[in-house]
Structure 1
Amino acid sequence: MGEDAVGAPVLSDDPTLTEAATAIATGAVTSERLVQAALDSIASVNARTGWFVRVEAERALAQARECDRRRAAGERLGALHGVPLAHKDMFARAGAPMECGSPILRGHRPAHTATVLARLEAAGAVTLGALHMAEFALSPVGDNAHLGARPNPWNAAHVTGGSSSGSGAAVAARQVFAALGSDTGGSVRLPAACCGVTGLKPSLGKVPMDGVMPLASSLDCAGFLARSAGDCGQLLAVVTGEEDRAHESWHVAVPAPEALAPATDEVRTTVAAAAATLREAGCRLLAVPVPDFALAGRIAALVLGVEAAAEHERWLASRRAEYGVLTHRRISRGLTYSADDYAEALRVRARLRQEFLHTYFAVADALLLPTLPEPAPTIAEATEGTPEDVEARIGDFAYWTRAINLFGLPALALPAGFTSGGLPMGVQLIGPPDSDAALCRLGTRFQSVSDWHRCRPPSPVA
């Protein structure tokens, strides 16, 4: 932000969440103005993008005016005073619809508000509405058999990533400053990478999950998609109270980019460039072996299947016709595993986690990895064909992310470049347990010497 003639901060053309909050607090802009601008942007494109499944314009404007009134009276609600946000359609707010991308929950209105959402609003955030998501949060590309796949804001022919599809797209398109998403196998980080925004998947248990749709309880995390690592750190601090102690030096583990697999050449080049950026930012890079996530991925899939089948047992038979074919196929597969299979998976999980922590975090503060093995595919490539064809085609899409959920570790997805065709590319920084705030600080250092997070998609969306 610059300054006006009398020294007051002036809102930049493309502010981050923290910059917008500062501008509201100092009177450079009103919450009502920011909320109305966001609503206008949504109204201008949502008929063809569908990133929002519900817009609560009157409520949001009333919230914004109350924020402005209280500021004029000398009050401040908190760190997010007056900033417009929106959230994946799986975070409960008392009396409001929460449908989780499924006709099974059509018209469902929970009685209580999710703690994570309540804490954001208690800090002054204005909620604009609910965002598109994959059915029951089960598509890594963001497809929904009932609502369709949503267009990527950079190229409408391509997927947004999922399952927090609307969250990634709405933040990238500058319709909101940040959004809540969920991450059970990559569902914050995959849309962050596909849409060119920053996404934080917290440590398991870091963010309260009451009032959030469960999928697989030992893997589920609620996370944040925003324009910068600093914004993610601010949201984390609001929700958990956790802020990082300053680091004097950083040691980042980096596998040889040329050895990464599965990964396209553009992905390997992006990781190598991100490593160079971290070195420029003052980090010390440490050569480490490439993680083999094949077994961890299979264990994660088994755990997800068993836990999701337990969550959906009451509906799988009685309401089968209301599931998309692929969603039902993936959830019901969990019924085929035995108790012994699940117990053995948990034993292997513990061993793999310990080996991973020893290999990478005995020597380093963070590990640099790809977020995706390939750039965002087209919607046709990701959704057309038989369920078997689709599963086979997107089977590795979460290869680099799902193991991190299995281990319960925090991860920060960062924009890190573009393909030759103009699609965003990203990397992720993985940290040891409970290093969430530290990762945001490291991401801020990365973004202090790069500007990928400042890049905006073309407007309007084609």
Structure 2
Amino acid sequence: MFQKLTIEDCLEVERRNLVKESLSEIGRVDGVLKSFITVLNEEQIEVNEGPFKAIPIAIKDNIVTKNIRTTCASKILENYVPPYDATVVRKLKKAGFAIVGKTNLDEFAMGSSTERSAFFVTRNPWDLSRVPGGSSGGSAAAVASGEVVAALGSDTGGSVRQPAAFCGIVGFKPTYGLVSRYGLVAFASSLDQIGPMTKSVRDAAILMQIIHGKDEFDSTTVDVKMDFLSHIEQGIEGFRFAVPVEVYEYEGLDKEVAERFEECIKLVEKLGGKVEKVKIPTLKYAVATYYVIAPAEASSNLARYDGVKYGLRIEKAGLKETYSVTRTTGFGEEVRRRIMLGTFTLSATYYEAYFNKAQKVRRLLANDLNAVFDRFDAILTPTSPIPAFKIGSITDPLAYYLMDVFTTFANLAGVPALSVPFGFAQGLPVGIQVVGKRFEDPKVLRIGRSIEKFSPYNENGRIPLPVVRT
């Protein structure tokens, strides 16, 4: 059955026309799910020779693709067709992967539900009345529903991991600098990372093997070559795990999510891991710090969309009015809100009080995490404090921002973090987050693989996937 195929399965099956099967499945369910902004037809899809030839994959629509529309789910880029491929896209094509379409997201990746796309809301394949998470909700829904074998997302404050948790798949945010950001439309440049979204931890490792590495077009990338697969099955006996006490202090933690988290801790101990509760004093400031730094960087990055260089242009009598009307019309409410917040915190009057102070807290948080990683192999938390919520049920921006309470700290510190499905709460998937030391990405995947392999909620190490009713 195509919907359940992993990348590894595709290497074993007879090379039937997987692209055609993927497009057929998209045609069957995407009218309901709305995972994709752009779907290519079979003649448009580029298929190259390579070890992964013709395995269908989706790309989040803020990662540029040559001659394929890249919108960032925004009216300001609705008709933008890039003249080049992002580095990750070029690497996937070289390996043979077939890109079948571009997935929906919260506009410019600013959101946690994919409700803030300028075009339409994506739905969770487990329950069509609920969100798939965000901002990589289209990619998560496309993988969970079996429209594609795997997808790429981007993660600025949890945007790969949180939708992976909501949709019951694997989502991995690599160490900052391990994967090139060249061709990723910038939101917050010091936080953004591209990561895989897959049906298994091993598939995430396969994609990481392909997309990581130094890139001359991205000066923040590091010159390291990692082996993500050699030790992935070796287990976690003797590993030490830290569980922040702040997890238990968070009042918004769902009771059933907390129960699944406790079950996962018991499984880790059963597999030979040592678990200890620790205090990470600066963790409680992570969300506030993130929502100062990220909008500030977004304010700077999104200044380029002015109606002059490319994208939407609404002609008015004067240049200033053209700027103003173009940006007001082209950007949605949440993007405008974050631009204004960021511009405010970068202003001369408030720079020291907000942005500079947030950068100092960020450094203190990184120091606290480094102290934890001197003693422990990884940190465990729930990925999200709640399971997927109903579409339209959260309207308060502050409540919405707290969706990121367990994920933003990994971006602020630039460390690798993985979400692995582990059971259900209210009949909806729950994700467990594994956070590791910088450049110990293979170890994080190894831990995730052990949880996946022995989870009582999986069958033969396989993550259960939903049946989408159309």
The TM-score, its normalising length taken from structure 1, stands at 0.87
What is residue 6 of structure 1 aligned with on the other side? none
Q: Is the alpha carbon distance of 1:227 and 1:145 closer, same or farther for their aligned partners in structure 2, counting shifts above 3 Å?
A: closer
Give 1:211's aligned amino acid.
G
1:456 and 2:465 correspond? yes
1:30-429 counterparts in 2 under 5 A?
Answer: 30-32=15-17, 34-59=18-43, 63=47, 67=49, 77-78=50-51, 80-240=52-212, 241-244=225-228, 246=231, 249-255=238-244, 259-261=248-250, 262-289=252-279, 293-315=283-305, 317=324, 318-337=326-345, 338=347, 339-340=351-352, 341-358=354-371, 360-382=372-394, 389-419=395-425, 421-429=426-434
How many residue pairs get aligned? The number is 425
Unaligned ranges ≥5, structure 1: 1-10, 68-76, 383-388
RMSD: 2.1
Distance 1:81 1:154 in 2: 30
Distance 2:19 2:95 in 1: 16
What is residue 74 of structure 1 aligned with on the other side? none
Cα offset for 1:426?
Answer: 0.9
1:434 and 2:427 correspond? no
Q: Is the alpha carbon distance of 1:292 and 1:425 closer, same or farther for their aligned partners in structure 2, counting shifts above 3 Å?
A: farther
Distance 1:460 1:407 in 2: 41
Distance 2:362 2:3 in 1: 47
Q: Is the alpha carbon distance of 1:275 and 1:294 closer, same or farther for their aligned partners in structure 2, counting shifts above 3 Å?
A: same
SS in 2 for 1:425: strand
Cα offset for 1:193?
Answer: 0.6
Give 1:192's aligned amino acid.
A
Give 2:125's aligned amino acid.
P
Cα offset for 1:356?
Answer: 2.0
Distance 1:292 1:352 in 2: 5
Q: Is the 8 A contact 2:126 2:428 kept in 1?
A: yes
Cα offset for 1:160?
Answer: 0.5
The TM-score, its normalising length taken from structure 2, stands at 0.86
Distance 2:241 2:8 in 1: 27
Cα offset for 1:177?
Answer: 1.3
Q: Is the alpha carbon distance of 1:62 and 1:326 closer, same or farther for their aligned partners in structure 2, counting shifts above 3 Å?
A: closer
Q: Is the alpha carbon distance of 1:335 and 1:418 closer, same or farther for their aligned partners in structure 2, counting shifts above 3 Å?
A: same
Distance 1:59 1:403 in 2: 43
Give 2:80's aligned amino acid.
H
Q: Is the 8 A contact 1:85 1:178 kept in 2?
A: yes
1:52-76 residue CA offsets vs partner (Å, 9 max, x unmatched) = 111112246662xx65xxxxxxxxx
What is residue 29 of structure 1 aligned with on the other side? 14
Cα offset for 1:291?
Answer: 6.2
Q: Is the alpha carbon distance of 1:31 and 1:253 closer, same or farther for their aligned partners in structure 2, counting shifts above 3 Å?
A: farther
What is residue 319 of structure 2 aligned with on the other side? none
Cα offset for 1:342?
Answer: 2.3
SS in 2 for 1:18: helix
